[in-house]
C-alpha cells in the first residue's frame, strides 16, 4: 500500500513520471525516454494535449490513414481513419473503389433525435404526480430558456418532456424522458445542463431525484446507407454464388449472436476509425450501436443483404449521435483536418459518411470470409508487423516478403524464413 498517493494531480509532469518510475516500473525500463519520445516539440501543441485529460505523461499515437474513392450520394470523399488494425484502411479503400463505378453508396439520415433522462423516485399517488407534471411541464421548459437560447437559434432545443411511469420495473421509479435536437453538436454538455436544470425545478416534497444524464441509446438518431448492383457485376466468374453466400452470411448473424457480435465488430472497425479521426466519442457510439443491435431482444446484424430480381442490395442502419462542432472536433488539429478533408460536413453528412465506412468494412469482411477466408489478406497486411516484432531490417523485410509471395503468412513461417536468410 506504500505506493498509494495523494495530491497526485498537483505534481508537474516530470514529478509524476518520477513517481511512476519509482513505484511501478522496473529499473531496466527507460520510461523517461519512451514517454518523451512521444511528446510534441511544439510546446503549445503539447499543452493542448496535456489539457485534454488529467495526469498526462505522454501522447498515445495511433496510425492516421486515409481511404480514397468513396462515392457517397454522388460526391467523392477521402475518408480519414485512426486505427491500429492492419487491414482496415486497405479493406475500406478496396471496397470504396469497387463500388465507385456501380453507383457508389447511397446514404440517408432517418432522424436526429437525442435523449436525456431525469431518474427519480416518488412514493406518493401516481395521479397526483401526473397532475403535478401537467401543470409543471411548461415551467420545466422555461427554466432552461437561457441554456437553450443559442441552440434554438440554430433550430435545435428541447423537443418534448414526457413523464414515464417505470414502477412496474422498479418500485417508485419514474423518469422525465426528454428528447432533444442538437443540430451539429453531439450535445452531451447541452443535454446534461438542461436535465440538471429541469431536475432542480422538478424537486418537490416527496420527489427524490436520483440522477440526470443523457442516454447514449439513441434509436431515433438513425442513418441508413446502402449499395446495390446487378448480381452479375459482383464477381468476375460467379456473381450469383457470391451474392447467395453474402445473404447467408448476414442471415447467420441474424440468428446466431456469437457470429453477430463478430460481424458487428467488423462494422465498428470502420465506424470507430472515422469517429476517432473526427474527434467524436467512440465509447458513446459503441454503446449505442450495440444496444440498437439488440433492440429486438436478440443481438443481431446491423447490416441487411438481399437479392431481388437479380439485384443485390447490401445495407446498414445504425444510430450515430455525432458532432461536427464543439468538443475535440474543433480543438484537436487532426480532427479539424479530418473534417476539412471531408469538406466540413454537418452532423447529418458525417452520420452518412460514418455509416458508409461501417457498411464498407462489413462488405470487405464478408467478401473475404465467404471466399478466400480472412487470413490471406489479414496476414499479408500483418506481415510487416511480424517482421517489425522480429526486428528485421529493410533488406530482410524485402527478402522475406519476396519469398512468401503466394504462401500463407504465419508468425512461425516468417520467423523460419528470416532465420534462414540470416543464416
Annotated catalytic residues are: 85, 265, 281, 378
> 311-319 and 303-308: which strand pairing?
antiparallel
Task: Report whether 289 contacts 319 (CB < 8 A).
Answer: yes
What are the strands of the beta sheet with 207-215, ordered from one edge?
157-165, 173-181, 114-122, 207-215
Count of alpha carbons within 13 Å of 68, Cβ hemisphere only?
0
Decide: helix, strand or coil at residue 311. strand
Q: Which residue has the cell 433492440?
A: 295
Q: What is the nearest approach in angstroms of ligand MEV to the Cβ of residue 355?
A: 17
Q: What is the nearest approach in angstroms of ligand MEV to the Cβ of residue 55?
A: 31
Q: What is the nearest approach in angstroms of ligand MEV to the Cβ of residue 264?
A: 8
Q: Name which of 301 and 324 has its Cβ closer to ligand MEV.
A: 301
Q: Name which of 25 and 261 has its Cβ closer to ligand MEV.
A: 261
Residues 6+ apart with CB under 8 A from 170: none
Q: Scan residues 33-92 and list those touching ligand MEV (CB under 6 A).
A: 85
Q: What is the nearest approach in angstroms of ligand MEV to the Cβ of residue 400?
A: 24
Measuring CA to CA, which residue among 176, 168, 179 is closest to residue 120? 176
Which residue is nearest to ligand MEV, using beta carbons? Answer: 266
Q: Which of 112, 148, 215, 269 binds ligand MEV (CB under 6 A)?
A: 269
Q: Scan residues 214-243 and list those touching ligand MEV (CB under 6 A).
A: none
Q: Name which of 113 and 317 has its Cβ closer to ligand MEV.
A: 317
Interaction mask 374-403, ligand MEV, x per CB under 6 A: x-----------------------------
Q: Scan residues 248-267 and list those touching ligand MEV (CB under 6 A).
A: 262-263, 265-266
Q: Which long-range contacts (CB under 8 A, 24 or more apart) does 189-198 make?
A: 189/326, 190/147, 190/148, 190/151, 191/114, 191/116, 192/116, 193/147, 194/116, 194/144, 194/147, 194/148, 194/158, 195/116, 195/117, 195/118, 197/143, 197/144, 197/147, 198/118, 198/140, 198/143, 198/144, 198/161
Interaction mask 356-375, ligand MEV, x per CB under 6 A: ---------x---x----x-
What are the strands of the beta sheet with 221-230, ordered from one edge?
106-112, 221-230, 311-319, 303-308
Q: Name which of 186 and 383 has its Cβ closer to ligand MEV.
A: 383
C-alpha cell at 256: 446466431
Number of residues that bind ligand MEV (CB under 6 A): 9
Q: Name which of 291 and 374 has its Cβ closer to ligand MEV.
A: 374
Task: Report whether 274 contacts 79 (CB < 8 A).
Answer: yes
Q: Name which of 93 and 269 has its Cβ closer to ligand MEV.
A: 269
Residues that bind ligand MEV (CB under 6 A): 85, 262-263, 265-266, 269, 365, 369, 374
Amino acid at each position: 500500500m506504500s505506493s498509494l498517493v495523494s495530491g497526485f494531480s498537483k505534481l508537474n509532469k516530470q514529478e509524476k513520471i518520477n513517481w511512476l518510475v519509482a513505484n511501478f516500473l522496473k529499473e531496466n525500463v527507460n520510461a523517461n525516454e519512451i514517454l518523451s519520445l512521444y511528446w510534441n516539440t511544439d510546446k503549445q501543441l503539447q499543452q493542448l494535449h496535456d489539457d485534454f485529460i488529467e495526469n498526462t505523461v505522454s501522447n498515445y499515437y495511433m496510425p492516421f490513414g486515409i481511404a480514397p474513392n468513396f462515392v457517397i450520394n454522388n460526391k467523392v470523399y477521402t475518408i480519414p481513419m485512426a486505427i491500429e488494425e492492419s487491414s482496415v484502411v486497405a479493406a475500406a479503400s478496396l471496397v470504396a473503389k469497387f463500388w465507385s463505378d456501380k453507383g457508389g453508396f447511397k446514404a440517408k439520415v432517418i432522424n436526429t433525435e437525442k435523449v436525456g433522462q431525469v431518474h427519480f423516485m416518488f412514493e406518493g399517488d401516481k395521479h397526483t404526480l401526473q397532475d403535478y407534471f401537467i401543470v409543471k411541464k411548461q415551467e420545466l421548459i422555461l427554466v432552461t430558456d437561457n441554456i437553450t437560447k443559442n441552440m434554438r437559434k440554430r433550430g435545435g432545443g428541447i423537443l418534448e418532456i414526457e413523464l414515464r411511469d417505470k414502477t412496474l420495473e422498479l418500485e417508485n421509479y419514474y423518469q422525465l424522458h426528454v428528447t432533444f435536437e442538437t443540430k451539429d453538436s453531439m450535445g452531451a454538455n447541452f443535454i446534461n445542463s438542461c436535465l440538471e436544470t429541469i431536475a432542480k425545478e422538478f424537486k418537490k416534497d416527496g420527489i427524490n431525484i436520483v440522477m440526470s444524464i443523457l442516454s447514449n441509446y439513441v434509436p431515433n438518431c438513425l442513418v441508413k446507407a446502402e449499395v446495390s448492383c446487378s448480381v452479375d457485376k459482383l464477381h468476375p466468374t460467379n456473381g450469383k454464388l457470391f451474392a447467395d453466400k453474402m445473404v447467408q452470411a448476414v442471415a447467420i448473424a441474424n440468428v446466431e449472436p456469437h457470429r453477430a457480435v463478430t460481424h458487428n465488430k467488423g462494422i465498428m472497425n470502420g465506424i470507430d476509425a472515422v469517429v476517432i479521426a473526427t474527434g467524436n466519442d467512440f465509447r458513446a457510439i459503441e454503446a449505442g450501436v450495440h444496444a440498437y443491435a439488440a433492440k429486438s431482444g436478440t443481438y443481431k446484424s446491423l447490416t441487411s443483404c438481399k437479392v431481388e430480381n437479380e439485384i443485390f442490395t447490401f445495407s446498414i442502419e445504425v444510430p450515430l449521435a455525432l458532432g461536427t462542432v464543439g468538443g475535440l472536433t474543433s480543438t484537436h488539429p487532426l480532427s479539424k483536418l479530418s473534417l476539412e478533408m471531408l469538406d466540413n460536413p454537418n452532423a447529418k453528412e458525417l452520420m452518412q459518411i460514418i455509416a458508409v465506412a461501417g457498411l464498407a468494412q462489413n462488405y470487405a469482411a464478408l467478401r473475404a470470409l465467404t471466399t478466400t477466408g480472412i487470413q490471406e489478406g489479414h496476414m499479408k497486411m500483418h506481415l510487416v508487423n511480424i517482421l517489425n516484432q522480429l526486428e528485421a531490417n529493410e533488406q530482410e523485410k524485402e527478402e522475406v516478403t519476396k519469398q512468401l509471395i503466394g504462401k500463407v503468412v504465419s508468425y512461425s513461417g516468417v520467423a523460419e524464413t528470416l532465420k534462414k536468410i540470416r543464416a
